[in-house]
Homo-oligomer: A and B are copies of this chain.
Amino acid sequence: MRVLIDEREKKYMVGDEEFHTDFGFIKKEDIINSKAGDILKTHLGREFRVVEPNVNDYIDLMERKCSIILPKDLGIVTAYTGLGAGKRVVDAGTGAGATAIHFANVVGPSGEVHTYEIREDFAEIAERNVKGFGLENVQVKCKDITEGIDEENLDMVFLDLPKPWEVAEDAKKALKIGGYIASYTPFVEQVQILQRVLKKVGFSKVESFECILRGIEVKSRGTRPKTRMAGHTGYLTFARHL
């Protein structure tokens, strides 16, 4: 998998084959022999830069059939729970696999991500996406996580589910002492139920947040926050197994 960028800074994901765009085509052998930093030319002479592929490039370009959690929210989860290389994570529901791929990039080959998806069609897309990025530390499971978590001794259980509280008790059993449960939910009502269940089940340090990322624009006419911003994505709820 290679990422090419054209003169307009538009990104393309390219396999080991001839590549066609509105700027002309690039020959298969040119692509196969290229490495990050090279400039490839189409038969019309337009230039494409080969870029070291980044997890965000890949997620932006991969196959998706459902909405994904934004990097800003996954970044808060990573930072808050102390996620890093070698950690063991369970993730549900998988969707197209963006969250699992994001965490897999962080935990690396010495870590593990086991991701549960109830819908077969999503699990298949996720499987393709995981393989497409060459990740060997992700296990996509087409399974209902509310029926049980197979893994043990986890550093984090991350839930992107309508009713994350249904997994609270099993998550507690599956987590290390010191491990975190984390959840992404769009609605206040979900936060309310989840916080109550997490406390009841015996989790500590139950907290919820929202992360508002505000762009700042520096132009010749002046500096100001961007006019457009997302008013809300979802609430992040955390609790620790102590």
Size of the A side of the interface (Cβ < 8 Å), in residues, is: 79
Complex-state Cα separation, A80 to B57, whole angstroms: 10
Complex-state Cα separation, A52 to B187, whole angstroms: 32
A21 within 8 Å of B (CB atoms): no
A191 within 8 Å of B (CB atoms): yes
A214 within 8 Å of B (CB atoms): yes
Of residues 160 to 193 in A, which have CB atoms within 8 Å of B's CB atoms? 176-179, 186-192
Complex contact B222–A218 (CB within 8 A): no
Complex-state Cα separation, A77 to B231, whole angstroms: 21
Complex contact A222–B190 (CB within 8 A): yes
Complex-state Cα separation, A214 to B50, whole angstroms: 39
CB-CB under 8 A from A202, the residues of chain B are: none
CB-CB under 8 A from A221, the residues of chain B are: 187
Complex-state Cα separation, A176 to B50, whole angstroms: 11
Distance between A18 CB and nearest chain B CB, rounded to angstroms? 23
